[in-house]
């Protein structure tokens, strides 16, 4: 019989906040120190922010070229009069393939005897940790987070919650992937204590069949005093669609932090319509932690300057001007044990115009996220087509409420598959015909499109549904 710790969630919020930081200190974490630093950073004006980021970046780059064999081989050093941003621009882009093949060489000298492979484990209670990505593309990447970066990552998550209107101590639903539940494994006592200190009500996003979706609704209805949610955006949209299609009661929420996917305009509208909630787009990954999040002005995603430096570049690696889409590169500013500099995370985005946001925060902004690089489709004439267009085309332009779920995949230069779960047969044939005609208009007259009915759309290895993907190597 597991020890009952659920009573912790009923403690007053100030008590739980104090206990949270106290528990972290006991295990060796210094998140309290990092959280106080966060509060200083958010008050910086643009000049102070530029100086702070430059100082942190300068330190990281010097450590990398001195202590990491991978970066030492580049024979890079700062030139006379060269600032940290100029020095950074001379570093090559770091790819996932390089991290997989050069893992041990990226580790700094002081840890090379401890971290020898992705299977390495620290002997200390709270120290560096080997992290695997979710493996959305089918091949996970392994990186190392040192203790300092882990603390900064936790502080970033707390700030994301604050941005989304449920600061530490405010209870919330967490519609997230739970491998333990899926494998029917018992949750560890420390995790249960932490969950109750945070006020977290878990719901498993890895399964989205009718029974699980009904269970999510019952969980929300059993907790009428909870008004906020942190969720995989595709799982939240699936739940919203289920409630609409079955004409079930729609619980009201004040805010939803939408994560782990591209928050399209139609998905945002769906969540707002069904839950009457303010939707915040939060961007992050397992290997980089939280990267950016919307504020209450919803005029782009604020890049988390205390922890990351973000670039948007074209195919040649040159910076894209604001408003122009490109590949996102991320530099982790607080992870010197495993330097990740100009890491090509696999996402596409657009930088916003520089300047302080109306909310008063000086952090730079991403105007929008454009999906993953492996979600970009190639048309007959070689043009790259954003997955956001396909989602809008299917979800809005030709949405005749005949299809419950779908997935569009490019399998060859001119070969595509549209998988769909039908709501019924009435009007379906005509809807599919119009979709096929529209796809061919966008992709080229020579495009060969197979319309494939399925019972369900299987999630990716990470547990998330990939709505648009490209298996054809360009």
SS3 252: coil
Do residues 460 and 136 lie in contact, with contact meaning Cβ atoms separated by under 8 Å? yes
Phi and psi, residue 469, nearest 5°: -150, 160
Buried b (16+ CB within 10 A) or exposed e, 46-69: eeebbebbeebbbebbeebbebbe
Phi and psi, residue 369, nearest 5°: -105, 140
Nearest to 377 by CA among 466, 459, 460: 466
SS3 378: strand
Do residues 309 and 341 lie in contact, with contact meaning Cβ atoms separated by under 8 Å? no
Where helices occur in 330-452 by DSSP H, the ranges are: 387-392, 428-443
What span, in angstroms and rounded, lies between the C-alpha atoms of 470 and 474?
A: 9
SS3 297: coil
**How far is the first Cα of the chain from the last one, in angstroms, to the nearest whole number?**
54
Do residues 268 and 279 lie in contact, with contact meaning Cβ atoms separated by under 8 Å? yes
Strand order in the sheet with 403-410: 448-453, 415-422, 403-410, 468-470
| Tens digits of pLDDT across the chain (474 residues) | 568 888 999 999 999 999 999 999 999 999 999 999 999 999 999 999 999 999 999 999 999 999 999 999 999 999 999 999 999 999 999 998 899 899 999 999 999 999 999 889 999 989 999 998 754 444 568 999 999 999 999 999 999 999 999 999 999 999 987 544 433 446 788 888 999 999 999 998 766 678 888 999 999 999 999 999 999 888 898 899 899 989 999 999 999 999 988 898 888 999 999 999 999 999 999 899 999 999 999 999 999 999 999 999 998 999 999 999 999 999 999 999 999 999 999 888 999 999 889 999 999 999 998 876 556 688 887 766 766 567 667 765 666 668 878 899 999 999 999 999 888 888 899 989 989 988 888 888 899 999 999 988 876 654 556 778 888 754
Q: What angle do CA 325, 343, 156 make, to 5 degrees?
A: 90
What lies within 8 Å, CB to CB, of 4 at 6+ separation is none
Helix (H) or strand (E) holding 67: helix 46-67
Do residues 342 and 331 lie in contact, with contact meaning Cβ atoms separated by under 8 Å? yes
The reported pTM is: 0.81
What span, in angstroms and rounded, lies between the C-alpha atoms of 346 and 457?
A: 23
What span, in angstroms and rounded, lies between the C-alpha atoms of 431 and 294?
A: 35
Phi and psi, residue 365, nearest 5°: -130, 145
What span, in angstroms and rounded, lies between the C-alpha atoms of 66 and 430?
A: 64
Do residues 340 and 331 lie in contact, with contact meaning Cβ atoms separated by under 8 Å? yes
Where helices occur in 115-183 by DSSP H, the ranges are: 147-163, 179-182
What lies within 8 Å, CB to CB, of 156 at 6+ separation is 38, 284, 289, 290, 304, 306, 307
Q: What is the largest CA-CA distance in the chain?
A: 72
What is 322-340 written as a DSSP string? TT--EEEEEEETT-TTS--
């Amino acid at each position: 019989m597991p020890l009952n710790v659920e009573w912790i969630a009923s403690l007053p919020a100030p008590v739980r906040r104090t206990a949270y930081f106290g528990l972290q200190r006991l295990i060796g974490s210094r998140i309290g120190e990092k959280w106080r630093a966060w509060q200083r950073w958010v008050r910086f004006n643009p000049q102070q922010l530029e100086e702070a980021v430059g100082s942190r970046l300068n330190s990281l780059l010097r450590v990398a070229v001195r202590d990491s064999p991978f970066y030492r081989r580049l024979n890079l050093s700062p030139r006379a009069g060269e600032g940290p941003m100029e020095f950074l621009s001379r570093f090559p882009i770091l790819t996932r393939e390089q991290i997989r093949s050069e893992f041990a060489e990226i580790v700094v000298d002081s840890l090379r005897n401890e971290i020898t492979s992705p299977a390495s484990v620290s002997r200390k209670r709270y120290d560096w940790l080997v992290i695997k990505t979710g493996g959305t593309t089918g091949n996970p990447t392994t990186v190392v987070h040192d203790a300092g970066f882990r603390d900064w990552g936790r502080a970033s998550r707390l700030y994301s919650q604050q941005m989304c209107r449920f600061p530490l101590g405010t209870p919330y639903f967490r519609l997230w992937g739970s491998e333990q539940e899926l494998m029917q494994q018992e949750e560890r006592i420390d995790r249960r204590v932490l969950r109750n200190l945070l006020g977290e009500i878990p719901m498993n996003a890895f399964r989205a069949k009718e029974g699980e979706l009904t269970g999510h609704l019952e969980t929300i209805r059993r907790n009428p005093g909870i008004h906020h949610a942190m969720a995989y955006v595709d799982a939240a949209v699936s739940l919203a669609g289920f409630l609409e299609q079955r004409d079930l009661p729609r619980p009201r929420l004040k805010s939803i932090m939408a994560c782990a996917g591209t928050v399209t305009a139609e998905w945002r509208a769906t969540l707002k319509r069904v839950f009457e909630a303010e939707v915040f787009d939060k961007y992050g990954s397992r290997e980089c932690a939280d990267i950016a999040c919307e504020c209450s002005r919803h005029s782009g995603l604020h890049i988390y300057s205390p922890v990351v430096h973000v670039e948007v570049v074209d195919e040649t690696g040159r910076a894209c001007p604001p408003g122009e889409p490109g590949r996102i590169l991320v530099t982790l500013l607080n992870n010197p044990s495993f330097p990740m500099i100009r890491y090509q995370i696999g996402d596409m985005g657009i930088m916003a115009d520089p300047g302080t946001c109306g909310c008063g925060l000086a952090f730079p902004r991403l105007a929008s996220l454009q999906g993953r690089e492996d979600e970009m489709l190639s048309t007959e004439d070689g043009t790259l087509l954003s997955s956001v267009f396909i989602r809008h085309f299917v979800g809005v332009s030709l949405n005749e409420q005949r299809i419950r779920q779908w997935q569009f995949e490019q399998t060859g230069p001119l070969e595509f598959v549209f998988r769909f779960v039908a709501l019924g047969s009435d009007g379906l044939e005509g809807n599919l015909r119009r979709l096929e005609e529209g796809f061919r208009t966008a992709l080229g007259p020579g495009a060969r499109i197979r319309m494939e009915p399925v019972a369900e759309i299987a999630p990716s290895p990470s547990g998330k549904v990939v709505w648009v993907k490209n298996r054809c190597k360009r």
